[in-house]
Structure 1
Amino acid sequence: MRDLAGPLKLIVTLWLAAASAIHLYFGGFGFPEPITLRAFHLLVFVPPLFLLYPARPGRSPERRPSLADWLWVIAAAAPHAWVMWHWAEVSDRMEYVDPFGWEMMVLAVLAIVTLLEATRRAVEVGLAWMIVISVAYMAFGHYIPGLLNSRPFSAAEILEASWLVPTAGGVYGPLTGIVATTIAVFIVFGAFMQGSGTGRLFTNLGAAAAGRYTGGPAKVAVVTSGLFGTMSGSSVSNVITTGAMTIPLMIRIGYRPVVAAGIESASSVGGALMPPVMGAAAFVLAEITGIPYGEIVVAAAIGAVLYYFAILAAVHFEAKKAGMAPMALRDIPAWREVAQDAHLVIPIAVLVWLMMDRWSGNYAAFCATLAMVGIAALRRRSRMGWRQVLESLTNAGLTMAPLAVSIAGAGIVVSALTATGLVVALGGIIKDLAGGNFALLLILLAITVLVLGMGIPTTPSYIIAAAIGVPQILDLGSKALGFSQAELLLPAHLFIFYFAVLADASPPVAAAAFAAAAIARASPLMASMHATRLGIAGFTVGFAFLYDPGIMLRGSLLDILVATGIQLGALTAICAAYAGFLLAPMGPPLRLLLGAAGLFAAFYHGVPDAVRLAIALGVPGVMALAQRIRLPRPVRP
């Protein structure tokens, strides 16, 4: 991103801050007409990307935009400004019935091309290519024989479907509406959390809680990354924020750089799974399913805790095996220092309370943001002056702008999938490959989501995969599991959501692992492999959502305890087996036995849950007892 200077920097700063403030205002006092809001959202966030991101890093000017960049700005603003000016006409027109004239076709081309270029510059080249392929498929899909054949589309139909079908998809579709409403206000809330010093609270809390134990810096990385995830929901920003501190500390006490990068990236990726915010994709999930966000938070709570439990367990076993020391006492903040920022938890509690009370997400985030400013003013160290408020609003705008184009791009892909029937075709291919085997279907869908995640950010990856996979899970799952499709709706979406999140840390292309590897000066591929095995709980919990509904706090108390106990025991066994340490070092035979027991309990559902629980808790329990007996007793003075 460019480091702008002079008057232009001030103009862009004020522009982004004003855009964020307006979105916050809408969240509290109501939104304009949907098409007007979506056009305004893209008008204020797409053009600045051409000023902030050079066309070719290293070749384009780094401190100022070029003439070509200014032309891109004008081209990007034109279609959205036109829609705002003609909002009544656009709202009243009948999609695919009313004429789509040459003027609208030109504006549609401008909207799509500028969106592609902004995506290429500020988000991912892979997503830009997926948008291109989707539009090309609409144009040429009728030439493809067999299952992937589609009907012919005229140029006007392609452009209208990609740009101006607010009820179904495209640039102004419902996905852009979700970002412009709920997600935007939550991003502002997260920026104010950081501006008020809540990040300092999380860092100090993580160090005070975990720093005194074996492998302290690694455990601090796990705890703080999970807490930071409640603010940003972005794995890469979590890595950059916390990794700059924790990765050097981990390397200093003995972790290999590649392992330190893996720990940080796995921990940062999990931030998007951690309630109460959970990242942008979770809000899209709520909008698509129509399930209240508070219900989603409750259903995802145990899974998020299990994810971080597994990372902490893996870190603990490896630190014990290597005999690593805790953090130096001088680096561990006193609890009284943590307590000085404890008041900053109140706005988070306000947010959770309002959402549990079924207030809309945007209104809850609006109230929590105002509460953050007011509560932060209670102490000098957290008080936000006008500079901090301006900086928080600007940071929110810098986060929202790339997200706006990525979601609008995902809208084009979804529009192409639905208009051509490709979503049905791809679902049919996966279903045929599964051959009626529900477990195989889930494995194929998990692989599909992980592959999508190689070049696409979490939220659009989830959106596209959910469109393809959820109908298949509901159809086959209702027969295989004996649940109704309504009961499987949330588990199916959470399954897709978890693997979309994990894709950020899975090889061969993993954005979070690559960022962590850059800090650690380690191999990105090896860092992503370590992140994947450290995030094993994401895989086990993803499947458990469908097979063990107790993990979502569904069923009786016994069902919940059994499902949670199976996961706890299985994850402990798997992590200990990989590290080769439980209470003492283990040889290959015991590691294989322990790992097999953990994998069996976590993934095999052909035996009663009581048997799985007995294996998950019994095998590591017996092994720990045997090691305990063999451990040398301390000599008393």
Structure 2
Amino acid sequence: MREFSGPLKWLCWCWAAAAAAVHLYFGGFGFPEPIQMRGFHLLIFTPLLFLLYPALKSSPRHRPSVPDWLWAAASAAPHAWVMWNWMAVADRMEYVDPFTPTMMVLGITCIVTLLEAIRRAVEPGLAWMVAGSLAYMQWGYLIPGIFNARPFTPAEIVEASWLVPTAGGVYGPLTGIVATTIAVFILFGSFVQGSGTGRLFSNLGAAAAGRYTGGPAKVAVVTSGLFGTMSGSSVSNVITTGAMTIPLMKRIGYRPAVAGGIESAASVGGALMPPVMGAAAFVMAEITNIPYGEIIVAAAIGAVLYYFAILAAVHFEAKKLGIAPMPLKDIPAWREVLADAHLVLPIALLVWLMTERWSGNFAAFCATVAMVAVAMLKRRTRMSWRDVIDSFANAGLTMAPLAVSIAGAGIVISALTATGMVVAFGGIIKQLAGGNLGLLLVLLALTVLVLGLGIPTTPAYIIAAAIGVPLVLELGRPLGVDALQAHLFTFYFAVIADATPPVAAAAFAAAAIAQASPTITSIHATRFGIAGFTVGFAFIYDPGIMLRGSLLDIGLATAIQVAALTLITASYAGFLLAPLGWPLRVLTAAAGMAAAFAHVLDDTTRFLMGASTLAAVAALQWAAARAATEQGEKR
């Protein structure tokens, strides 16, 4: 992103702040008609991207070029036309009423400028995916076999991509949920940062975990989890918390790539942690029509298990390397933590409103206003007018790339639906799975991870859910698998794709801070975030972790995951109570994998397998250590 100064900086800063402020107002007092709101959302954010992001590496870095201003003006025209003619757009019969030459020109302009905005500000891979979906609509009829599609005229392609707000496209339901609920939650996250709540999370993490073995790494895990659930962006989480935690981990003995891997795995998990869970969770609520409160309840144990696994891995790694706790002078006193404790009240208000089934946008509006009011209670957290404006502006700068990426994902969904590719691709996966639910889940997980190589979490989840969730529901019917289980499975793999090689946005950001190899950092991030894989499958096979069933069912499902994850993390760290030799590492890995994935066995057998192996290895090491101590005393 460009760095401006002078009047241009104030123009863009005020532009982003005003755009965010309007979204906050709508969140509290009601939104315009859907097509109006979606048009306004893209009108106010898309042109800003052409000013902030250069087209090429050789483009000016401190000012927009003349072509950038022309791109910005062109990108505004289609959305301004839709806002001005919103009644006609809302009332027209799709594919029946004439698609006029004016509409054709504006639609092409919208698609071209959207592709360029995505290429500049989001990911070139997503831009290529959108362009590929349009190309498939144009020439898919030439492809033989299962991928053959009916011919589409250019007018049909542009209309489906641009002006069919009921099914997908630029102004589809996905853009609607971003322009309403998600936008207001991004604002809340921005005010969380601006109010000093980030300091509260950092101090809480240090006070809670800093005194223990590998303290700085555990602080990174706790802080990133607390912060990430509010920010909703793994990369911004890495940049914000990693700037503090990664150098500290390196200083006490962690290798740079390991420090970066710990931070990126912890930062990625923020999107899995209630109460916010990032943008994709709100899209899930929209797609499934399941109240958001039910989603965060179902996801709670899984998120705790994810962070339990990272903390266990960090602990074993620190024990093996002999890494000491944080120096006492660097650990804040609890009175320092409690000095900011009042900032938890807006978060508690948000959770309460969501569980009481208030709309997400109104809950986030109330929590944002409450954050400003509560911060005023003490001088150290009081927000000045500059802090408030900065929070609005930062929220706007976060919303803008998300706006175009979701609009692009809407075009892909429209193309997949119109051409029947959802059915075709789903048929291929189903055929490869051969009616086996387990194999289908593996193929779907790989599909989501591949999608995550080049596009952000939310579009990857949306596209994969459109393709795979119906198949999971079909093959999972005998097990009683429902929509929430299938969507949480897909969501988990879309999230952890940000940390898995070969292209991992969060791990690459952490590697830059750690000055380590991006690929090696992403490999370490994958092993520290191993719970993302086991918990993802547990949503399907062990619904007790979603707080379903009896207390025994919930406890047993959770205990299975705890035992399995402890064994797996101990195995790859090579340490439990003492260093593990290769025979014991293989044994613990095999037992952990069996407990996590051997779903052909009943739950009691899987738990006993994991727990007994863990107890046996621990007892063996304890006995060996005691024998060595007694031998030493005799000498």
TM over 0.5: yes
Give, in whole Å, the separation in 1 of the partners of 2:67 and 2:340.
Answer: 47
SS in 2 for 1:259: helix
CA distance in 2 between partners of 1:188 and 1:210 (Å) = 29
1:418 is aligned to 417
SS of 1:327 mapped into structure 2: coil
Within 1, Cα distance between the matches of 2:581 and 2:309?
Answer: 21
Tell me which residue corresponds to 2:580: 586
> Partners in 2 of 1:235 and 1:32 — Cα distance?
31
One-letter amino acid matched to 1:422 = M
Residue 348 (structure 2) pairs with residue 354 (structure 1): no
- 2:165 matched to 1:166? yes
SS at match of 2:347: helix
Instruction: Please name the residue that 1:214 is paired with.
Output: 213
Identity %: 74
Aligned match of 1:552: 546
TM alignment of 1:301-316, pairs within 5 A: 301-316=300-315
Q: Output aligned runs, 1:7-406, within 5 Å.
A: 7-57=7-57, 59-406=58-405
| Equivalent-residue separation in structure 2 for 1:516 and 1:9 (angstroms) | 28
1:104 alignment partner AA: M
Q: Show CA shifts across 1:540-596 (max 9, x none).
A: 000000000101000000000000000000000000011111001110001100110
Cross-structure match for 1:631: 625
CA distance in 2, matches of 1:582, 1:5: 54
Aligned: 1:489 with 2:483 = yes
Deviations 1:467-514 (A, max 9, x none): 0000000001113x2x1xxx5110000000000001000010000000
Q: Secondary structure at the match of 2:476?
A: helix
Aligned partner of 1:619 among 595, 613, 624: 613
Partner Cα distance (1:301, 1:134) in 2: 36
Letter in 1 for 2:578: A
Deviations 1:239-298 (A, max 9, x none): 100111111111111111111111111000001001000000000000000000000000
Q: Distance in 2 between matches of 1:195 and 1:314?
A: 32
Are 2:503 and 1:509 equivalent residues in the alignment? yes
- 1:630 CA displacement: 2.2
Q: Specify the SS of the correspondent of 1:46.
A: helix
The 1-side partners of 2:616 and 2:374 are apart by: 50
* Alignment partner of 1:534 out of 528, 549, 554: 528
Give the Cα separation in 2 of the matches to 1:262 and 1:8: 38
Instruction: Provide, for residues 60-92 of structure 1, a one-character-per-residue CA deviation record: whole Å limited to 9, x for no partner.
Output: 111110000000010000000000110111111
What is the distance in 2 between the residues matched to 1:138 and 1:233? 33
Deviations 1:183-203 (A, max 9, x none): 000000000000000001001
- Give secondary structure in 1 for the equivalent of 2:230: coil
Partners of 1:140 and 1:228 lie apart in 2 by 46
Tell me by how many angstroms 1:10 deviates: 1.1
SS of equivalent residue, structure 1 residue 231: helix
Residues of 1 paired with 2:77 and 2:69: CA distance?
13
- Structure 2 residue identity aligned to 1:236: V
Return the offset for 1:14: 1.2
Deviation at 1:13, TM superposition (A): 1.2
- AA aligned opposite 2:358: W
Aligned equivalents of 1:396 and 1:248: distance in 2? 27
Q: What is the CA deviation profile of residues 193-251 of structure 1, one whole-angstrom value per residue up to 9, with x for unaligned ones? A: 00000001001111111111111111011001101112211110011001111111111
In the alignment, which of 497, 506, 522 is matched to residue 516 of structure 2? 522
Letter in 2 for 1:524: P
Deviations 1:91-145 (A, max 9, x none): 1100111000110010001111110011000000000000000000000000000
Q: Give the letter aligned to residue 311 of structure 1.
A: I
Q: Which amino acid aligns with 2:318?
A: A
Could you say which residue in structure 2 is the equivalent of 1:431? 430
Indicate whether 1:609 and 2:603 are aligned.
yes
Q: Which residue of 2 aligns with 1:471?
A: 470
Letter in 2 for 1:232: S
| Structure 2: distance between partners of 1:231 and 1:440 | 35
CA distance in 1, matches of 2:140, 2:464: 20
> Residue 177 of structure 1: CA displacement?
0.1
* Cα distance in 2 between the residues matched to 1:601 and 1:255: 30
Structure-2 residue corresponding to 1:597: 591
Do residues 4 (structure 1) and 8 (structure 2) align?
A: no
The Cα shift of 1:533 comes to: 1.0
Letter of the 1:468 partner, please give it.
I
Where 1:230 maps in the other structure, the secondary structure is helix
In 2, Cα distance between equivalents of 1:401 and 1:114: 14
Report the CA distance between 1:464 and its aligned residue: 0.1
Amino acid at match of 1:270: G
Moved more, 280-289 or 12-21: 12-21
Distance in 1 (alpha carbons) for counterparts of 2:443 and 2:67: 44
Q: How big is the shift at 1:385?
A: 1.4
Indicate the SS of the match to 2:159: helix
What amino acid does structure 1 have at the position aligned with 2:55?
Answer: A
How far 1:15 moved relative to its partner?
1.2
Shift of 1:629: 2.1
Q: Which amino acid aligns with 1:251?
A: K
TM-aligned CA deviation for residue 370 of structure 1: 0.6
Amino acid at match of 1:26: F
- CA separation in 1, counterparts of 2:509 and 2:19? 29
Cα displacement string for residues 170-190 of structure 1 (whole angstroms, at most 9, x for unaligned residues): 000000000000000000000
In 1: Cα distance, 2:180 partner to 2:500 partner = 31
Q: Secondary structure at the match of 1:566?
A: helix
Distance 1:5 1:424 in 2: 51
The alignment of Structure 1 onto Structure 2 pairs a total of residues equal to: 630
Quick one: distance in 2 between partners of 1:3 and 1:177? Answer: 31
Deviation at 1:360, TM superposition (A): 0.5
CA distance in 1, matches of 2:211, 2:246: 17
Shift of 1:328: 1.2
Unaligned runs of 5+ in 2: none
Runs (5+) with no aligned partner, structure 1: none
Q: Deviations over 1:286-327 (max 9, x none)?
A: 000000000000000000000000000000001001111111
